[in-house]
Structure 1
Amino acid sequence: MTEIERLRMATEDDVQRALEGASFGAWPQDPAALLEFFNLMLDTKIGQTAGDAAMWPGLRRNLQ
């Protein structure tokens, strides 16, 4: 399953889990909070380190 497929299969439980780590209240009310929520959903569905190798080459050692 690709990352996009995982994001598209997000459930209400995934949203609730993402909101647990948010710095804002129950729902984002401004652009900064919406961006934070978007990033929290990415972390929830595909992992906190997903895409790091593309964005920051050499950030993490290749453990394979």
Structure 2
Amino acid sequence: MSFEFIKLYLEWLRKTPNEIWSRRQAEFINALLENAVNFPLSKEEYLRIKERARKLKGGKRI
């Protein structure tokens, strides 16, 4: 994420009424939760892939 994006987002937050900001935040969170159901990997499979990738990178966290 670029610093410029963060500045633009903060500017939007400051000028946007709470009702609008809250509604958009709720829509975003709900979309994430709905999409999580469609994720093709189980938690265990995902963690196994992350661990394997970490080992391939020489133990560095990814």
TM range (shorter): 0.3 to 0.5
Q: TM-score, normalised by structure 2?
A: 0.34
Structure 1 or 2: larger helix share? 2
